[in-house]
Amino acid sequence: MNIRLAPSILAANFAALGDEIAAAERGGADFIHVDVMDGHFVPNITIGPPVVRSLKKVTHVPLDVHLMITEPDRYIEAFATAGADLISVHVEVTPHLNRTISHIHSFGLKAGVVLNPATPVGTLEEIATDADYVLVMSVNPGFGGQTFIPRSESKVRAVRALLDRAGSQAAIEIDGGIDRDTISRVVAAGAEILVAGSAIFHSPDPEAAARELKALARRSVPAAWADRT
Ligand code: DX5
Ligand code: ZN
């Protein structure tokens, strides 16, 4: 398993994003997770391509852009040219998922598909070998600081089993309520890319918080999966 930590800037101080990202990077961030919300798919509004373009200039790790928007196809090019390195779209609002994944790939980016907590794992059946990663939401998207939904742990196991059956190498990312209490459980279940917002940026020392979470995650990799790539 290849553990990667993806701090979500949703919980950061937006007036000092450069400093916040630098602290997360010093703490071992592998990606910076950018939550894009449109006030339609989710009941909140955040940021768009101009902010991604600015972040790109100050970030040394790939930008992991999570689109919580209806009609994501309309905005993929804008986020790709702004500097996104990974783009994920929700299956709930993407009727032509293969086409959308190809569209993301056409810009040379990694493509992820996201499942809301109520969305069945079986939705992945036909695109398991197309996506580069699957993002399992462990809260209902829209806000940071929510409580981890315990059922997400068995959902990660079910997603891993489905991907393995399909012969897919896609990594599992998990997002929502990931902190020092939940991170070990989700890694043990098969999650490799760990998004954490408030656990890092609401801490008095985001650098130390990121370092601690990543160390905990690495220690939680099951022995049987240690060599798995
Ligand atoms: C929720 C977002 C998450 C959020 C996670 O809709 O997709 O990325 O920022 O925040 P925490 O880690 O605070 O749950
Ligand atoms: Zn997110």
Residue 216: closest CA among 2, 61, 3, 9: 3
Q: What's residue 147's pLDDT?
A: 98
Radius of gyration of the chain (CA): 16
Choose the CATH number for 4-225 among 1.10.3720.10, 3.20.20.70, 3.40.605.10, 3.40.50.2300.
3.20.20.70
pLDDT, position 229: 65
Please name which ligand lies nearest the alpha carbon of 5. Answer: 1
Question: What pLDDT shows up at residue 211?
Answer: 98
**Choosing from 38, 64, 175, 179, which is the catalytic residue?**
175
Phi, psi of 182 (to 5 degrees): -95, -20
Question: Which of 14, 35, 92 most suits a substitution to test ligand 1, by most atoms within 8 Å of the C-beta?
Answer: 35
Q: What is this structure's pTM?
A: 0.98
Residues of the chain with pLDDT under 70: 229
Dist. CA 164 → ligand 1 center (Å): 27
Would you say the CB of residue 35 lies under 6 angstroms from ligand 1?
yes
Residue nearest to atom 1 of ligand 1 (CA): 141
Identity of residue 214: K
Domain positions in the chain are 4-225
pLDDT in tens, 110-154: 999 999 999 999 999 999 999 999 999 999 999 999 999 999 999
